[in-house]
Amino acid sequence: MGLKPVAFEVEKTRNDVVSVDNSSTTISAATKRVVYHIKNISANADEVITLHFGSQPAIATYGVVLNPGDSCTDSNSEGYLCYQGDIYAICAVAGPGSLAVFER
């Protein structure tokens, strides 16, 4: 009796820093996700970044507003799937602001 190999799907992991200015930017295209964590790591207090989830571009202060140091997280749990669509961001000032983006 030998061991049988187990087939499994390798999950793609992303861990990036993304620059965001005062025009809407796609920070993550629609994909299969089990978790994401997005944190505003901007150095300046006025670099407030707004996230928008869906098919429309981001509009400053209309959506999930992240001050420097704030974050947004979503993950799968029993009976719930993590958001799978496009994620957009916009900075309140010319910036650029910075987001740390982790997703798997």
User: pLDDT tens digits, residue range 34-76?
Assistant: 999 999 999 999 999 999 999 999 999 999 999 999 999 999 9
Number of domains present in the structure of the chain: 1
Residues sharing a CB contact under 8 Å with residue 78, sequence separation 6 or more, in sequence order = none
CATH classification at residue 40? 2.60.120.770
pLDDT, residue 27, reads 97
Tell me, yes or no, whether 58 lies in a domain. yes
CA torsion sign for 87, 79, 102, 45 is positive
Distance, CA of 98 to CA of 89 (rounded, Å): 10
Whether the full predicted model's pTM is greater than 0.85, yes or no, is: yes
| Beta strand pairing call for 87-91 and 49-53 | antiparallel
Q: Give SS3 for 43.
A: coil
Q: Which two tokens stand for residue 33?
A: 């996700």
State the residue range of the domain holding 32.
Answer: 14-103
